[in-house]
Amino acid sequence: MLLNVENLRVSYGNIKALHGISFTIDAGEIVTIIGANGAGKSTTLRAISRMVPVETGTTMTCMGKDLLQFPADKVVSQLGVTHVPEGRRLFGNLSVMENLQLATFARKDRDNVKKDIRRVFEIFPRLEERKAQASGTMSGGEQQMLAIGRAFMSGRRLMLLDEPSMGLSPLLMMNVFQALKEINKQEGTAILLVEQNARLALKFSQKGYVLETGNLVLEGDSQTLINDPEVKKAYLGG
């Protein structure tokens, strides 16, 4: 087991965002969390990446190590857990290459950095074509590719992805998901995906969880969830 989350509780002031959810991710597995806006999906990713505090009683382990003992930067550099947030959050005034290089600041294996940049360009040829271009001037799809490439450069044991298809055309959306599939297959990277396009996300994944108002209400293999009448009605358009 790569990631084990038990009794995850998060509050924002007096507002309870997560009410003690539990789930697991195996090495190399692709897992999707679906749910309505405000269900707590993004908060779940932020908690794993140590961007928001969790409440007493929460247990999270990665490769058997207590994830709560690691600050956010060490979650990346020592555990290989990277977070691609909603909105991409690139350095818009810096070039594609500079964004990729910045992602390697904590890496000690400097000899592998150039090789990994070449690998990013193999996965996303469009980024190589625009490697000197300021990232803020690129299309939304290209920026999403760069955000994923930047996460790839930081560490790739587990990638947390928040709404990767947001604002993308259907063609670019499929390009991004095909690239993620390649990263998963070729690099063995596990992926935890939060995605409003529930049908696409479940088809992409092996396993899924349904989150409602901070509670996990359903889990199962992706095909079972796709065929579930309640999931169809609530999230798959009938």
Contact 192, 180 (CB under 8 A): no
- Per-residue confidence at 104, pLDDT binned at 50, 70, 90? confident
pLDDT, tens only, 175-209: 999 999 999 999 999 999 999 899 999 999 999 99
Q: What whole-number distance in Å separates Cα of residue 193 and Cα of residue 175? A: 16
Domain containing residue 195: CATH number: 3.40.50.300
Task: Tell me if 185 is assigned to some domain.
Answer: yes
Range of the domain at 210: 3-86+156-233
121 assigned to some structural domain:
no
Confidence grade of residue 42 (pLDDT, cut at 50, 70, 90): very high
CB atoms within 10 A of CB 119: 18
Whether residue 171 is contained in a domain is answered as: yes
**CA atoms of 170 and 140, how far apart (whole Å):** 12
Flag whether 91 is in a domain. no
137 in a structural domain: no
Q: Which of 231, 232, 229 is nearest to 211 (CA)?
A: 231
Q: How many folded domains does the chain comprise?
A: 1
Q: What is the structure's pLDDT at 109? A: 76
pLDDT of residue 238: 64
- Residues in CB range of 198: below 8 A, 6 or more apart: 32, 34, 231, 235, 236
